[in-house]
């Protein structure tokens, strides 16, 4: 057992609602704080003076900090594509020259280029490159990270990707949550035969993924260059019957897929740049998390998702990086969160909720994202005495100390 103190501030995220708008005066800030950790869990958090008697009674090890720190919960990135091979700098250059994401995809670039390079890669090389990206994410404070497949687009290479994610997770401190995104787009060999491709996934892929426990989540991209809502609904229902949890790439360029997400009870609908008031109201009146991806907007040069409206109508809004080789190569959660807040006028409370406990809800995990009794001891110490400095720095202020499952990592 450890008693760690004093923190200039502890940003607990306790007592905040899962849905809707938040004001900064709702944040619980413990000044001159301390925390008791035992068996990878938080057992007490308060001012360090209040905790001193309990720490002595429990014979805790005292860890006394010699500089000013703000303590936060570990960050959660609930939507990434960190497992891939190849670079799409060429796509970026084409977008700078005026072509759209959809134009490039129709020319065989975009996702299909990443598919080509990922199919060529070995499982070992995919695992090793994923480990390097995940280590960077962990150093920047992300303690739990979702990682999708989706650049294999056939049974063999999707299984290769999911296996690489699982094997990378076994070697890392960060927790990687795998999602099967075999329905990312239609592979070249099935162009014009999208239903046949989805039938193949249902027959030959998903049962194997379930049997080998490579993932308990599936995702599907509902868009002009991918799958229709009708096709997606059939695929989702098959996956649900196998016991998979659901998330959907929704409303990136055209609206309405988020309506499907709510209809099928998806954990989250992700992107939402094209959502109209109709979709916003439907999401807000559901338990589906609205996950916004500012990194994709920056990479594509498009409007930010309507996070302000989603919150004002009562939705649960999570914020994720969408780190991928094409539209969102930056992968800096704190920087993107700060930029989203600037453009959408979100409060500090709303931004921190979006990258902690609300992001945990998008992954259906209820023991991370807050500094509270019984929660996993995933914690970050930032070298400042004011939590507002972290997002104010637009990604330049990183954690100096990271506790994952109660174990300290320094950088």
Which of 35, 8, 5 has the alpha carbon at shortest distance from 371? 35
Determine the Cα–Cα distance for residues 382 and 392; give it in Å rounded to an integer: 13
pLDDT of residue 410: 83
On whether the CB atoms of residues 366 and 294 are closer than 8 A, the answer is no
Q: Which domains does the chain have, with CATH numbers?
A: 2-73+370-410 (2.30.40.10), 76-362 (3.20.20.140)
Per-10-residue mean pLDDT of the chain, 411 residues long, equals 98 98 98 98 98 97 97 98 95 90 81 95 98 98 98 98 98 98 96 97 98 98 95 98 98 96 98 98 98 96 97 98 96 98 98 99 98 98 98 98 96 76
pLDDT for residue 102: 80
State how far the Cα of 227 lies from the Cα of 250, in Å rounded to an integer: 11
Q: Residue 227 phi/psi, 5° resolution?
A: -125, 150
- Packed helices 155-169 and 123-139: angle between N→C axes, nearest 10 degrees: 40
pTM for the full predicted model: 0.97
Phi, psi (deg, nearest 5) at residue 288: -80, 130
Phi-psi region of 149 (alpha: psi -120 to 50; beta: other; left: phi over 0): beta
């Amino acid at each position: 057992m450890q008693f760690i103190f004093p923190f200039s501030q502890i940003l607990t995220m306790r007592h905040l609602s899962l849905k809707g708008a938040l004001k900064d005066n709702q944040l619980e800030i413990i000044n001159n704080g301390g925390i008791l950790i035992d068996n990878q869990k938080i057992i007490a958090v308060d001012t360090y003076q209040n905790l001193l008697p309990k720490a002595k009674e429990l014979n805790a090890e005292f860890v006394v900090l010699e500089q000013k720190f703000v303590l936060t919960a570990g960050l959660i990135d609930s939507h990434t594509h960190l497992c891939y091979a190849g670079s799409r700098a060429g796509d970026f250059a084409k977008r700078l020259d005026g072509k759209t994401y959809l134009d490039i995809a129709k020319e065989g670039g975009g996702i299909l280029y990443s598919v080509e390079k990922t199919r060529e890669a070995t499982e070992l090389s995919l695992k090793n490159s994923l480990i390097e990206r995940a280590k960077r994410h962990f150093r920047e404070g992300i303690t739990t990270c979702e990682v999708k497949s989706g650049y294999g687009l056939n049974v063999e290479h999707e299984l290769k990707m999911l296996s690489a994610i699982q094997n990378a997770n076994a070697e890392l401190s960060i927790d990687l949550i795998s999602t099967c995104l075999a329905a990312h787009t239609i592979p070249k060999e099935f162009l014009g035969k999208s239903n046949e491709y989805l039938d193949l996934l249902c027959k030959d892929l998903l049962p194997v993924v379930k049997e080998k426990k490579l993932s308990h989540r599936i995702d599907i991209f509902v868009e002009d260059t991918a799958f229709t809502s009708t096709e997606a609904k059939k695929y989702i229902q098959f996956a649900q019957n196998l016991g998979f949890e659901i998330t959907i790439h929704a409303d990136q360029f055209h609206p309405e897929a988020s309506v499907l997400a709510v209809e099928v009870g998806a954990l989250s609908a992700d992107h939402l740049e094209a959502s109209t008031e109709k979709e916003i109201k439907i999401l807000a009146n559901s338990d589906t998390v609205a996950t916004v991806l500012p990194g994709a907007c920056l990479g594509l040069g498009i409007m930010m998702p309507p996070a302000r409206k989603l919150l004002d109508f009562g939705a649960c809004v999570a914020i994720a990086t969408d780190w991928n080789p094409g539209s969102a190569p930056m992968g800096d959660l704190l920087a993107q969160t700060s930029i989203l807040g600037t453009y959408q006028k979100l409060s500090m409370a709303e931004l921190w909720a979006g990258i902690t406990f609300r992001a945990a809800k998008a992954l259906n995990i209820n023991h991370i994202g807050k500094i509270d009794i019984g929660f996993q001891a995933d914690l970050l110490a930032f070298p400042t005495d004011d939590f507002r400095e972290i997002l104010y720095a637009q990604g330049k202020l990183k954690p100096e100390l990271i506790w994952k499952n109660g174990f300290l990592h320094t950088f």
